[in-house]
Amino acid sequence: MNRFLSKDFLSGLMFIGFGLIALYFGQKLAIGTPVRMGPGYVPRMLSLILIGLGILVCIVAIVSGSEPVERLKWKPITLVTIGIICFGLLFERAGLIPALVVLIMISSLAGEEFKFMEVIGNIVVLSVLCTLVFKVGLGMNINVLHGVW
């Protein structure tokens, strides 16, 4: 088994990559000192911690080895992405509930099993919860059903 294609090693590389990206985008922020922190102090320290953690994970993966990476499953990636795009396009035009229905229906097709009654249950529960949280609880100015509420 190739230790450089293990899940842990690639996860460590991902941590290092995100840390480097954060350092790049935060390089113009003033750092300051630990006593008088500037706006770039915490992001810089967190990105350095992330890079350090990534290096540690990579070293442990090389020394001890881990599970190999599985092949990509394109069906779930594609269907969930299409569902999210449809949600974004429908949310403004049709409202929260129709957008959620389309998102859940398309994303449910990505799984190994498709049970229609479970999908209907998910649609009902998530529609109620999202309406309660975003419209009622947070008072957001969103359409639940376009033209109705």
Number of helices and strands (H, E) in the chain? 5, 0
Residues 6+ apart with CB under 8 A from 56: 12
> How far is the C-alpha of 128 from the C-alpha of 32, rounded, in Å?
47
Q: How high is the pLDDT of residue 24? A: 95
Per residue in 61-87, pLDDT (tens digit) is: 988 877 777 888 899 999 999 999 999
Q: Where are the alpha helices (DSSP H) in the chain?
A: 7-25, 41-64, 74-94, 96-108, 116-130
Q: How far is CA 62 from the centre of its chain?
A: 27
The rounded percent of the chain whose pLDDT value lies above 70 is 99
Q: How far apart are CA 60 and CA 55, in angstroms?
A: 9
Match 């102090």 to its residue by tokens: 41
| Per-residue model confidence as pLDDT tens digits over 7-49 | 889 999 999 999 999 999 998 988 888 888 888 999 999 999 9
Confidence (pLDDT) at 86 = 96
Q: Is the separation of the CB atoms in 1 and 65 below 8 Å?
A: yes
- From the CA atom positions of the chain, what is the Rg in Å? 22
Task: In whole angstroms, give the CA distance from residue 33 to residue 51.
Answer: 21
